[in-house]
């Protein structure tokens, strides 16, 4: 059985972008109220006395946009300095990254994933919800800053959207040739957004690989923190190419992760909320961390039975109402 040792922690559900596949403009999103967010202290208590003792020792900070979390540097520092933290990483849209990259590194963050769906400022702007063309440059500056500072591996996440950015697959893959950048192509998931992209569907990873293979060839490879990605490399390239194929392949049997939402719900699966535990309310009601530990241990035991496919087997289009920013992607 897979060892579940990885926790994705959503620091905030808000975001400064409105990516059409995640927080479509005009969508009714019920934001978590400030007083409902887990405080830094509550999060650190859960890490130290609940998650780490049950074996969850590798953490990824995400959101919404994690860099919008107040005092994020202090929080990164506190999590990095817990003696049992084995790995700490972050997924960010990169918009606020350039001036923060060095401080994040100094605070103890070593691995970072930055979303970059396009190399073209106009397409990028269209994807992020028409927030202004200048945003692409600011994200690009964030990527360069993270590279200079020494984040390793530095991964770039690309959600491939048919008819929007799929023509850039080769250009994005080419970023891995001269630099140790790791580009990961993510199959677009119609969650909370089916009305926008439902008709265009999604492009299977194998089709993306074929396009790249035809141009350069591809060999199998490895990179630290693969997670569910299948990793390949253009022969001779410095970086790698990852493919996250949650639509075309079921990797539930390889799943090693749990998710903590910004308001303190612990969930065993991205799209199946069976067994979820409201840890924040429990903490605020004075339930002991020893009791919570037992609850989490039990949830870990039943996790293999809670998965993506079995949630709704008839739902072949995979349409869900919660968006990634709400789940904590």
Cβ nearer to ligand SF4, comparing 270 with 296: 270
Q: Residues 203 to 222: which contact ligand SAM by CB under 6 A?
A: none
Please report how close the Cβ of residue 191 comes to ligand SAM at its closest, in angstroms.
Answer: 5
* H helices, E strands: number in the chain: 12, 12
Residue 146 lies near ligand SAM (rule: CB under 6 A): no
d(CA 201, CA 222): 29
**Residue that the structure tokens 């535990």 belong to:** 277
Give residue 118's Cα distance to chain centre: 18
Cβ nearer to ligand SAM, comparing 157 with 233: 157
Residue least distant from ligand SAM (Cβ): 329
Give residue 285's Cα distance to chain centre: 30
Residue 324: both structure tokens together: 């990634």
d(CA 210, CA 312): 30
Q: Which residues bind to ligand SF4, rule: CB under 6 A? A: 15, 17-19, 22-23, 63-65, 93, 115, 324-325
Residue 174: both structure tokens together: 């080419």
Which phi and psi angles does 294 have, rounded to 5°?
-65, -40
Partner that binds at residue 62, options ligand SAM, ligand SF4, none, CB closer than 5 to 8 Å by kind = ligand SAM
Residue 247 lies near ligand SAM (rule: CB under 6 A): no
Instruction: Express the helix, strand and coil content of the chain in percent, nearest 5 each.
Output: 40, 15, 45
| Stated length of the chain | 329
Partner that binds at residue 157, options ligand SAM, ligand SF4, none, CB closer than 5 to 8 Å by kind = ligand SAM
Partner that binds at residue 186, options ligand SF4, ligand SAM, none, CB closer than 5 to 8 Å by kind = ligand SAM
Give residue 106's Cα distance to chain centre: 22
Please report how close the Cβ of residue 115 comes to ligand SAM at its closest, in angstroms.
Answer: 4
Cα angle, residue 138 at apex, residues 103 and 236 outer, rounded to 5°: 85
Residue 160 lies near ligand SAM (rule: CB under 6 A): no
Residue 103: both structure tokens together: 């401080």
**Would strands 257-260 and 6-10 be described as parallel, antiparallel, or unpaired?**
parallel
Q: Residues 33 to 92: which contact ligand SAM by CB under 6 A?
A: 62-63, 65, 91-92
Partner that binds at residue 23, options ligand SAM, ligand SF4, none, CB closer than 5 to 8 Å by kind = ligand SF4
Residue 188 lies near ligand SAM (rule: CB under 6 A): yes
Please report how close the Cβ of residue 294 comes to ligand SAM at its closest, in angstroms.
Answer: 31
Q: Residues 268 to 307: which contact ligand SAM by CB under 6 A?
A: none
Q: Across-strand partners of 62?
A: 10
Q: Which residues bind ligand SAM (CB under 6 A)?
A: 15, 21-22, 62-63, 65, 91-93, 115, 157, 159, 186, 188-189, 191, 193, 324-325, 329
């Amino acid at each position: 059985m897979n060892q579940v040792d990885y926790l994705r922690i959503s620091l905030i559900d808000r975001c400064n972008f409105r990516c059409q596949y995640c927080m479509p403009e005009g969508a009714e999103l019920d934001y978590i109220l400030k007083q409902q967010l887990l405080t830094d202290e509550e999060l650190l208590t859960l890490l130290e006395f609940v998650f780490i003792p049950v074996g969850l020792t590798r953490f990824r900070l995400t959101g919404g946009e994690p860099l919008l979390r107040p005092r994020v540097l202090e929080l990164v520092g506190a999590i990095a300095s817990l003696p049992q933290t084995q790995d700490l990483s972050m997924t960010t849209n990169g918009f606020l990254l350039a001036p923060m990259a060095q401080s994040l590194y100094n605070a103890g963050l070593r691995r970072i994933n930055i979303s970059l769906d396009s190399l073209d400022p106009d397409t990028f702007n269209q994807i992020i919800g028409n927030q202004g063309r200048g945003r692409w440059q600011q994200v690009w500056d964030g990527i360069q800053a993270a590279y200079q500072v020494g984040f390793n591996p530095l991964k770039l996440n690309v959600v491939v959207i048919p008819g929007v950015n799929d023509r850039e697959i080769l250009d994005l893959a080419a970023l891995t040739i001269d630099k140790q950048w790791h580009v990961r192509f993510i199959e677009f998931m119609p969650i909370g957004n089916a009305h926008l992209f439902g008709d265009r569907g999604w492009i299977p990873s194998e089709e993306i690989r074929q396009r790249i293979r035809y141009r350069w060839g591809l060999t199998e490879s490895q990179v630290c923190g693969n997670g569910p990605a299948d990793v390949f490399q253009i022969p001779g390239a410095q970086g790698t190419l990852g493919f996250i194929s949650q639509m075309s392949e079921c990797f539930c049997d390889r799943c090693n992760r749990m998710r903590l939402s910004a308001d303190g719900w612990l969930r065993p699966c991205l799209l199946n909320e069976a067994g979820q535990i409201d840890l924040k309310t429990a903490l605020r009601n004075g339930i002991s961390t020893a009791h919570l530990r037992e609850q989490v241990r039990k949830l870990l035991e039943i996790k293999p039975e809670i998965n993506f496919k079995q949630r709704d087997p008839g739902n072949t289009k995979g349409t869900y109402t919660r968006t990634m920013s709400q789940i904590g992607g």
